[in-house]
Amino acid sequence: MKSKIEERLENVDGELKGRIALITGGTSGIGFATAELFLREGAKVALIGRNSDHLISADRQLKVNNEENILPIQCDVRNETDILKAFEIIIKRFGKLDIVVNNAGVVYSAPIEETSLDIWNNTNDINNTGYFLISREGYKIFKKQGNGGVFVFVSSDNAVKPSKQSVAYNVSKAAEVHLSRSIAHEGGQYGIRSNCVLPGAVFGISSVWTNEYRRARAKVHGFDPNMLEEEYKKANSLGVIIYPEEVADIILFLVSKRSAKMTGNVLVVDGGNTGSYVR
């Protein structure tokens, strides 16, 4: 008879075999790294992106050895009609859905007195309304299927440690955490789990760190924009830079059987910043 440990560790390689995942914001950064990892672990992935050029490029890269397992869908997460159509396409192609990774997001840097209503609304439309709409439709499918399902919300350590001149982003990320907890609270009876990952500043290949945004954040902290990565290292106790692939590893854990009894949690991946210790 196998021990509980043996059962958990069995088939760790390819642990997502046969599972269907939806990833929003999947064309770069954390979303793309997660798609790569999920495909490697045997999942089939619906890749959601708003920019058609970025979606085509990501699809081309991911389809190497995965032609039948990747489904690119152009979709604006602020648009309810787009989202309904995306879920229809996924179910028609794959027949089911097991995993939803809410990752699409936007960030602005502006002092609160210079945060326009447009900045506020656009940030919350994508980071909150988009997460809600994707979650609502995913929840419906999970409940109908009757086999449970898993949500992972890619939030930010800003959800618990507000950063200066990022009020709209800070608030939107805090709201994502509570949306995830609400789903965990309501969905547990159906075997639906929901957890959050709270990354710190993630570097590597990402659409977030435009030259404009790098300069803005460097100005806020008094850094040299060309030394941003090195300066951010100094803000965490391990003195490390966070990369998309490392966040993807945590997301894999949260959708795997290894975390089967975890829901409503937040896992912070920021190298140890005392301001974002969950308490």
Q: How would residue 207 be classed by pLDDT, with cut points 50, 70 and 90?
A: low
For residue 202, pLDDT beyond 60: yes
Q: Residue 101 is part of a domain; what is its CATH number? A: 3.40.50.720
Q: Is 60 exposed, middle or buried (0-12, 13-18, 19+ CB in 10 A)?
A: exposed
In a domain, 8, yes or no: no
CB 199 within 8 A of CB 272: no
Residue 35 domain-assigned (yes or no)? yes
Residue 216 lies inside a defined structural domain of this protein: no
Whether residue 258 is contained in a domain is answered as yes
Q: Is 157 within the bounds of a domain?
A: yes
Q: Tens digits of per-residue pLDDT, 64-114?
A: 877 889 999 999 999 999 999 999 999 999 999 999 999 999 888 888 999
Report which of residues 14 and 188 the model is more confident about: 188
**Residue 144 lies inside a defined structural domain of this protein:** yes
Q: Spell out the SS3 assignment of 254-273.
A: HHCHHHCCCCCCEEEECCCC
State the pLDDT confidence band at 8, using cuts at 50, 70 and 90: very low
Is 161 a domain residue? yes
Residue 145 within a domain: yes
Name the domain count of the chain. 1
Joined tokens for residue 201: 């500043």
d(CA 207, CA 205): 7
105 is in which domain, residue-wise? 14-207+241-269
Cα 83 to Cα 137: distance, rounded to the nearest angstrom? 8
Instruction: Read off the pLDDT of residues 119-135 as tens digits, 9 standing for 90 and up.
Output: 999 999 999 999 999 99
Report residue 238: phi and psi, to 5°. -85, -15
Q: Range with the lowest mean pLDDT among 165-169, 220-224, 266-270? A: 220-224
Residues annotated as part of the active site: 169
pLDDT digits (tens, 9 = 90+) for 154-188: 999 999 988 888 899 999 999 999 999 999 999 99
pLDDT value at residue 200: 85
Would you list the DSSP string of 211-228? HHHHHHHHHHHT--GGGH
